[in-house]
Amino acid sequence: MAVLRTNLLLAVAAIAAPLIGSVAPAEAGCACDHPPPIRGLVYPRFAQPGQTVNVYTTAIRKNRPGCVQTGALSFDTVEGDGDPYSENAQVSNLAPTGPAETRIWAKGCSETALGTAKETIQSSHLTVLSQRLPIVEASGTFYYTTLAAVDAEGTILVPFDLSEVRDPTQFFVTMWGLPLRFDESGVVYFNADEFNLKLFESAVLDPDDYQWGRYYGVLVEPSGDPLLHSDVLSYWRHEFHTYEEAHRPGGTHEEQPNGLHPDGTVHVDHDLLVAAISGTINGRKPKPGVIPLVIQVQQIISKDPLRYDEVQAQPPAVLSDNVFYVVVDQTGLPTVQAIDGITDVLDELDMASMTRVHKAVEKVETKLTATVGGLLSKRRP
């Protein structure tokens, strides 16, 4: 993920914007006027299994059966969007997490002006995401285990589902057992359609000027234990009751089948987010593929943003009294399990589950430790 090339991409976007479509800007849309994503060979560049993506390819033409492909994408499940070089494809439900390559052969297809079409969509163009982490609406400390994707550029991609969070909430997110160093320039949070939710098309001097609520961006705080844990993502999310009311059926911003609001502005989803984190471990970027994570999410329902240093200096009782491990089944449904004490969290985690995660990783990277405990003890000073 080209997290560190945002300024360059914005310049390209300014040139490419007329090619994306003649829709009204999202200034009166959801929460702010985010610029449209830059459409590359595959758009969006990351997706969950079963999600539809758009592929710009010369290897397939509509209404020409017999084309076959191998890899993460299937082109025979969804119709195209009308562009003769653009095809909609579905990410296979069996596609493994991480960068994904797809090879396309025009077997049995008519020849194109370029000759018999044959194409390989390199893994740098598409990353298959892990299961979304469902965030609960409550104050407390929550732990998740996941096998997160690392894209071809070494950026860790962690998808979150905030659709249940409507009260204003302060979040502090840490990757336990992973001494990942990063700063704010290396963090982008996208929605599922690859809208960069950190970018805006018009300048707003007052955070209160945004349509649905105040916005202060994503901050990065230094780790309290840099030899063991990652730096900390700090994000305050304003209330979303007003947003939800406007987007209900019959509401002023009800999303239409074409992805627009009744007034013609673009709908920008703010519930299904992907945190793209570009950092280093011992001076090196993570290897592309997958990485096992234990993610700690401290969250406090608060009408105003909270400072991380102040919260850590005097932690509110709600963070230590309400400690949970969130188990997500294969359908994406969460089960919240209470944990007695924050110091015993690792003992209470589903170690069998994490062992399976590590065994899957070992097929790609044999140097990874087989258990979370081993991973932590290896990095413990």
Q: Is residue 17 part of a domain?
A: no
Instruction: Let me know if residue 251 belongs to a domain.
Output: yes
94 is in which domain, residue-wise?
A: 49-127
In a domain, 186, yes or no: yes
160 & 114 share domain: no
Token readout for 166 is 């409507």
**Count of the separate structural domains present in the chain:** 2
Say if residue 61 is in the same domain as residue 201: no
Q: Does 321 reside within a domain?
A: yes
Is 176 in the same domain as 306? yes
Do 236 and 301 belong together in one domain? yes
Q: Are 358 and 341 in contact (CB under 8 A)?
A: no
What is the distance between the alpha carbons of residues 91 and 268, in angstroms, rounded to a whole number? 22
Q: For the residues of 8-46, what is the DSSP string, one character each?
A: HHHHHHHHHHHHH--PBPGGGSSSS-PPPPP--SEESSE
284 DSSP 8-state letter: B
Asked whether residue 184 falls in the same domain as residue 113, the answer is no
Between CA 285 and CA 341 the distance in angstroms is 33
Domain final residue pick, 92, 127, 162: 127
Say if residue 217 is in the same domain as residue 277.
yes
Q: What is the pLDDT along the chain (381 residues), one digit of tens a residue?
A: 544 333 323 332 332 333 223 333 333 333 446 777 777 889 999 999 999 998 887 655 544 444 556 678 876 544 455 555 677 888 988 899 999 988 776 544 444 433 444 677 889 999 999 999 999 999 999 999 899 999 999 999 999 999 999 999 999 999 998 999 999 999 998 988 898 887 655 555 555 555 555 666 789 999 989 988 999 999 998 888 988 888 899 998 888 888 888 888 888 888 899 999 999 999 999 999 999 999 999 999 999 999 999 999 999 999 988 888 887 776 667 777 777 644 455 555 544 444 444 444 444 343 333 333 443 444 344
φ, ψ of residue 356 to 5 degrees: the values are: -65, -40
How far apart are alpha carbons 305 and 236 in whole angstroms?
6
350-357, Cβ contacts within 8 angstroms, sequence gap of 24 or more: 350/145, 350/325, 353/145, 353/327, 354/145, 354/292, 354/294, 357/145, 357/147, 357/292
